[in-house]
Amino acid sequence: MLTLDDGWSLALKAGEEIDALQVGHRVAVIARPSGGSGLNDLLLEAWAYDWDLPHEEEGAQAPPVEAPSALPAQPDLPVVSAPAGAPPTVGAAPIVPPSPDAGLDGVIAVWRKWVLGLNPKLSDEQASNIVRWVLHYSQQYNVNHKLIFALIKWESWYNPGCVSHAGATGLMQLMPGTARSLGVDPRNVQQNIEGGVHYLSEQLEIYRNRPNYERVLLALACYNAGPNAVKRAGNCVPNITETRSYVRKVSGTFYELHQAGMP
């Protein structure tokens, strides 16, 4: 507060303490007659220039910045421990008939039985078509077909008409935007499988330089939570309960199918 010779006083008002003012801050200056009621106040605006602000004493040193005692821990990448033994390959696996004479029909029969065990409401023809398309597109997009079979189990339990509250559709639960970007109709069973396999292959490709097991976990996390969520988590499985549960279940089924010797 400054008192002037003509009976007026000047008050500097700011939304913060004067010590916190920075060069260029706008401040309010109120001119008021001494003893006045305030009805004749004049509100002016001024700018804080460098000579208006407190200065550090010459030679003064800034206080040291202490390093944090520990960095926040990132969620650990593996959601489940890798099973003992050689893990299954991420890329397209050879389709081995259950017996030398069974051929592709024998492979389809084995997987059809497995699919019908999850959704007995499917007809034999529907289940066979699903199996054929999974095998076909897994080879086309270089993805292990056992991983696709495991993923569909936990996405829709092989219900082609499954629609989530968020709008994810079909066997592989494609979101409308994802389906459009892939150029497929998610309501068409064949296109739904192609789109889902294609999308998962893109996520696997992102992490092609990571160890085989980590690629599976990260690609599945991308499929469930989205690639951006995985990036924000430092390219780890995000600490999201639903996503971590999903990755655990799908990867667990994938390894079970591998250990069981499914063709």
pLDDT tens sequence across 70-100: 323 333 343 444 555 656 778 777 777 777 6
Residue 155 appears among annotated catalytic residues = yes
Distance from C-alpha of 146 to C-alpha of 93, rounded to nearest angstrom: 8
Q: How confident is the model at residue 29 (pLDDT cuts 50, 70, 90)?
A: very low
User: Cα-flanking dihedrals φ and ψ of residue 141, to 5°?
Assistant: -105, 10
Closest by CA position to 187, among listed 172, 197, 199, 203: 172
What the block records as the tokens of 256 is: 């079970």
Asked whether the predicted pLDDT for residue 239 surpasses 90, the reply is yes
Asked whether the predicted pLDDT for residue 174 surpasses 70, the reply is yes
Residue 191: CB atoms within 10 Å: 18
Distance from C-alpha of 253 to C-alpha of 259, rounded to nearest angstrom: 10
- Active-site residue (options: 155, 205, 214, 242): 155
Query: In the chain, what is the straight-line distance between the N-terminal and C-terminal CA atoms, in Å?
Result: 87
* Full set of structural domains in the chain with CATH: 102-260 (1.10.530.10)
Distance from C-alpha of 32 to C-alpha of 235, rounded to nearest angstrom: 61
Closest by CA position to 237, among listed 28, 163, 250: 250
pTM: 0.68
What the block records as the tokens of 118 is: 């999850």
